[in-house]
Every structure is written in structure tokens, then in C-alpha cells.
Chain A
Amino acid sequence: MQHHLILRVVTKLLCGAIILYAFYVQFHGDYSPGGGFQAGVIMAVAFIAYGVVFGLDAVQKVLPAWVVHKLAALGVLVYSMTGVVSLFLGYAFLDYGAFSPHHPSHGQHWGILAVELGVGITVTGVMVTIYYAFASRIPRITDEEW
């Protein structure tokens, strides 16, 4: 899509806004609709949109495939480590009260933040992984075909 000037400019403008919105959904999930899953998907959409317009090579310069694969695993690790840490603090697995014993609700906030972050990282990683896997098999499409 080399000569689609409007598409390229609009995508460049939108990518930043989409990523910002993903962070908003991620960290504001306690107060507004959305959470880790939705934020992860929105974050992935930013990279996928960039990849669709500028090509797979351009987006893989920003976010190489091996980083994405590690991200997908890192999210599950963050989630389960939250549970393991609460185990070591002497509470049940994933009992967020462990993170601030005097204010259980603060502990809940921290715990929810941590696990939602884990969910978000995994979903971003997996969605971008799937997109890379599909897109890397596609022969380059000429503009006339569309």
C-alpha cells in the first residue's frame, strides 16, 4: 500500500491514540468497562493496523517476532507469580489481601492490577503472534488486486 497516502497518515496518527487508549482501558479497568483482555486486544490492534498498512517488515522492526512470543509467555508468568507471591506471604493462592495486610482492599487493588496486567500482556502477545503467523505466509498483494 505504498501510494495510499491518506491511509498511511491516518494510521500513523491513530496508532499512538489506540495505544494510549489501550493503557487507559488496562489501568482504569477497576472503574470503567474493560480490563486486561480488552486492553490487550486494543493494543494488538494498534500493531496489526500498522502492519496492515506499512507491511510486515515495518511492524516487525518495531516489535520483532521473538519479543512477541516472549510477551505471550511473560503475561501468564506475571499472573501465576502473583499467586505464588501471595502463597509465600502466608495467604492462599491468588488471595490479594496478602499485598497489604492492614488494608485488605488496597491489597485487592494491587492484586487486580497485577493479574490484569498479566492478562493484557498475554493477550497482546498472542494476538500479534497469530497475526504474524498468518501475515508471514501471505504472498505480497498488489494494490490492483484489491
Chain B
Amino acid sequence: MLVATALTVVRTSSLFSIVMLSGVFSLLSALLLVSMDAVDVAFTEAAVGAGISTVLMLGTLALTSRMEKPSRRSPAIPLFVVTVTGAVLIYGTLDMPNFGDPNAPAQTHVAPDYLQQSVHDVDVPNVVTAILASYRGFDTLGETAVVFTAGIAVLLLISGLRRRRDEDDEEERKDT
């Protein structure tokens, strides 16, 4: 279903349905994450990917046109690049350990310590929260700062533009 949605996104030219389908795509990948027991990530994907990004994309859509512009260049070179990149990525996954392999590098480094010690150290049943907020408190502080910076950047870029245009209008009015 994920693949079918992705292919439909590529085929359609109405931007409105593309935005809606990308919301559907996010929701489906959230379901995939639930079935892989990554509930925290699935939660985020459903709320951010399917919820907020869809609304923001619709907001952007209202500022631009409703239909995709027909492209005039030949699709051969982009298709080649995409195929090669995809092939390299699939080749890379061949070396990856199987899903849930107990000997995978990700499972043998600090994860056992966290899983065994967190009940004693932090005493919080949700290990994800314990790792995020306690063991990795500095990282999460950094992430919060990044989110804040992103908000400031959007504010400066978009609202600043509007204010300047208002001032220009006023100057024009003064000139006339």
C-alpha cells in the first residue's frame, strides 16, 4: 500500500490530491512503525507527518497554483539518478543485520545497559522517556533549541517579508 500510494503521488498532477496522498502515506508508515513496535515514533509520524505537515502544505498550496506545471525536460537523467541511488541503497541494506537481531551493533553497545539499569537509575517504566529525558538530557535540550530556532527562522522569513511590503506600500502612498 505504501508503494501504491507513492506511485499514485508520482502519477497525479493535481497538487491538492498529492498533498492528501502524502498524508495517507504518513499514516500508512505510522501503521508500519506500530507493527514494528516503535510506538513513540509512530505517534510522532501520525501527528506531525499526517496532521501538521498536511495543513502546512495546504496553506502553501493556497499561495501557489493548484495544478503541477508540465515539465519539458526529458525524464531520462533523473530516472537514471534515482535508479542508481535506489540500487546503492538496496545494496547497502544487504549488509545490515536482520530486524531484531540480538547481535546487531545497535543492540550490543549501550542499549543493554539502558534497558537493565533504567529501572534502578530512573525508575520510569517507559524506557524511551528515560533515555530521552535523563540519559540523553543534553541532546534533548539541543533538539528543543533546534525546534525553537526553526520557529524563529520561519517567523523572521515569512512575517518579516510581509511587514516590509506593508512599509513599501506606505512609502509608495507617501510618494504619490
Chain A contacts to B: CB under 8 angstroms: 25, 29-38, 41-42, 44-45, 48, 52, 69, 72-73, 75-76, 79-80, 83, 93-94, 96, 104-105, 108-109, 111-112, 115-116, 118-119, 122-123, 125-127, 129-131, 133-139, 141
Contacts and interface: CB of A to CB of B under 8 A. Distances in A.
Interface of B: 39-40, 43-44, 47-48, 51-52, 55-56, 59-60, 62-63, 121-126, 128-130, 132-134, 137-138, 140-141, 143-145, 147-148, 150-152, 154-155, 158-159, 162
Contacts of B55: 48, 52, 131
Chain A, interface SS category:
helix
B150 A126 contact: yes
Contact of B47 (A30, A42, A108): A42
B124 A112 contact: yes
B124 A30 contact: yes
Nearest to A126: B151
A131 to B, nearest CB: 7
B144 A109 contact: no
A48 B60 CA distance: 15
Given A30-B124, A30-B126, A35 B133 contact: yes
B63 A37 contact: no
A138 B63 contact: yes
Contacts of A25: 43
Max count, chain A CB within 10 A of own CB: residue among B43, B125, B145: B43
15 contacts: A34-B43, A37-B44, A41-B44, A41-B51, A48-B52, A48-B55, A108-B124, A108-B130, A108-B134, A112-B130, A126-B147, A126-B150, A127-B52, A129-B155, A137-B158
